[in-house]
Amino acid sequence: SPAACATCAVQLCFPGGKRVREDYDADTPLSEVHTRAAQIFEAQEDFTLVCLPTTPVTAEMLPLSLRDAGFCPGVSLTVKPKSSEGVVLQPPPVGEEFEAAFVAEVAAMLKDVGLLGWEAHQWAEKLVQPQLKRGELHPLRSTLRALMGSRP
């Protein structure tokens, strides 16, 4: 029976496909597993551990032992970054160099499709740059498609 388990095999699944399997004492609190996941993940953002398909390890569950959470004899927990939960409240900062290079590249592409230099620059600066700054990648894609003359 699960209650008799002394150890619990925990597999942590990280974004990008990395997997780490470690054995824990069944009395280990989930908070320790969360801390360990944070060490391996090394990202500067919050994340939730999710027992797929849909059970997130909530803050209330963190003090529970692996046994009390019902995860013995083994569990696979997926590291789900906050940024992947629907809406990202703050887009990740786009480096100034990248932004400038991207806008220059777009302006050059627009010149290639027949816009005058200053027109190309205006479109790139007024339309593309603000979307890039706000991290709106889907609207940015449609904008580029429209500017390049191909329909989505």
- Dist. CA 118–CA 13, nearest whole Å: 49
The residue among 40 and 107 whose pLDDT is bigger is 40
Q: Are residues 104 and 54 in the same domain?
A: no
Q: Is 122 contained in some domain? A: yes
Tokens of 152: 């989505």
Q: What b/e string do you get for 11-37 counting C-beta neighbours within 10 Å, with b at 16 or more?
A: ebbbeeeeeeeeebebebbbeebbebb
Cis peptide before 53 (omega within 30 of 0): yes
Q: Are residues 10 and 80 in the same domain?
A: yes
Q: Are residues 6 and 59 in the same domain?
A: yes
Q: Are residues 13 and 72 in the same domain?
A: yes
Q: Are residues 20 and 73 in the same domain?
A: yes
Condensed to tens digits (0 to 9), the pLDDT of residues 111-139 reads 877 878 788 888 888 888 888 777 787 88
Count of the separate structural domains present in the chain? 2
Q: Are residues 16 and 80 in the same domain?
A: yes
Radius of gyration for the chain, computed over Cα atoms and rounded to the nearest angstrom: 23
Confidence tier at 148 by pLDDT (50, 70, 90): confident
- Give the mean pLDDT of 68-79: 89
pTM to 2 decimals? 0.51
Q: Are residues 62 and 15 in the same domain?
A: yes
At residue 34, what is the residue type? H
On average, the pLDDT of the chain sits at 80
- Give the mean pLDDT of 30-49: 89
Q: Is 91 contained in some domain? A: no
Query: Quick count: other Cβ atoms within 10 Å of Cβ 80?
Result: 19
Confidence tier at 38 by pLDDT (50, 70, 90): very high
Question: For the chain, what percent of residues have pLDDT higher than 90?
Answer: 24
Q: Are residues 103 and 73 in the same domain?
A: no
- Dist. CA 10–CA 74, nearest whole Å: 6
User: What separation in angstroms does the CA of 67 have from each of 3, 49, 62?
Assistant: 7, 16, 12
pLDDT of res. 8:
92
Q: Are residues 78 and 119 in the same domain?
A: no
The 3-class secondary structure across 43-87, one letter per residue, is CCCCEEEEECCCEECCHHHCCCECCCCCCCCEEEEEEEEHHHCCC
pLDDT of res. 107:
82
For 20, the domain range is: 2-84
**Is residue 105 over pLDDT 70?**
yes
**Is residue 2 over pLDDT 70?**
no
Q: Are residues 104 and 44 in the same domain?
A: no
At residue 12, what is the residue type? L
Confidence tier at 64 by pLDDT (50, 70, 90): very high
**Can you give the CATH number for the domain in which 72 is found?**
3.10.20.90
Q: Are residues 32 and 63 in the same domain?
A: yes
Confidence tier at 150 by pLDDT (50, 70, 90): low
